[in-house]
Structure 1
């Protein structure tokens, strides 16, 4: 497991990954990197592989138009780039650039600190239980979204 995978894997990431959705104070976490939460989420969605805007929107559970607006801003700022999509001529792929990766690297240490603070505040048993519940919640949401996509 490389450092990038280690920083994004496991219980601390599970807990802090869900924080922007659950606590307003987490909205500040990407600010020192010079990006908004929305920018951070879109860049994180394409860190592993480039995706079309519609694919990012489905994964995030938001509208394609919202992702398109953020993607256009990220491209304008040099944090992401559009690439040709071999599967679809008009739906370009959004790919993170070196500048986008650097911005995310500036956020990762803050996440690790917050995860440690949360773990300390909750204690080992409550922290493990919280991570387990958030993991199940995330899996349940993925299942519901997949079922909705299959039905439409």
Structure 2
């Protein structure tokens, strides 16, 4: 009797990656709708969040690295946020050209308003999901991220 053939780890990972692509697109669209009343997009909100999460002001390149994003894209968004007075540049004592990005009072108020919109919505999304399953998914995503960050082939 033939045993059913099991999918390889590569096949399972491919299915996960395809699902991640779909979930990423849906999450960005969901975030865009959520923060649109504040004049934000998911990308702008994400940058504000990175500035808030940083222990101290950072240059754009460091924000991009922390987000796993392209530096030029982050620079463009930071420039837009600067024009809207949500962030500001300040001199970097360690590097003359790489200015530090700081949150303005208006930026803090906008970010806090986004979090007030987000919190009840994310709680609603979490309904019916077990915390241990969410933590397991995060663990797999973290391991995958670490492998990709260390894989020289991802920079081809």
Instruction: Please say whether Structure 1 and Structure 2 have the same fold, judged by a TM-score greater than 0.5.
Output: yes
Alignment correspondent of 1:38: 43
Contact 1:33 1:104 in 2 (8 A): no
Alignment correspondent of 1:98: 105
- Quick one: higher RCO (CA 8 Å, sep 6+), 1 or 2? 1
Q: 1:51–1:148: structure 2 CA closer, same or farther, 3 Å change rule? A: farther
Alignment correspondent of 1:21: 24
Distance 2:119 2:146 in 1: 25
TM-score (norm 1): 0.72
Q: CA deviation at 1:76?
A: 1.0
| Secondary structure of residue in 2 paired with 1:26 | helix
Q: 1:31–1:131: structure 2 CA closer, same or farther, 3 Å change rule? A: farther
Alignment correspondent of 1:118: 125
5+ residue gaps, structure 1: 1-19
1:59 and 2:66 aligned: yes
| Secondary structure of residue in 1 paired with 2:101 | strand
TM-score (norm 2): 0.70
Q: 1:58–1:30: structure 2 CA closer, same or farther, 3 Å change rule? A: same
Distance 1:36 1:134 in 2: 24
What whole-Å deviation, never above 9, does each CA across 1:96-145 have from its counterpart, x for those lacking one?
Answer: 1111110111111222112221222x24x3x4302431244135414632
After superposing on structure 2, the runs of 4+ consecutive aligned residues of structure 1 that deviate more than 6 Å are none
Aligned pairs, how many?
A: 127
CA RMSD of aligned residues (A): 2.3
Contact 2:31 2:41 in 1 (8 A): no
Q: Which moved more, 1:20-29 or 1:37-46?
A: 20-29
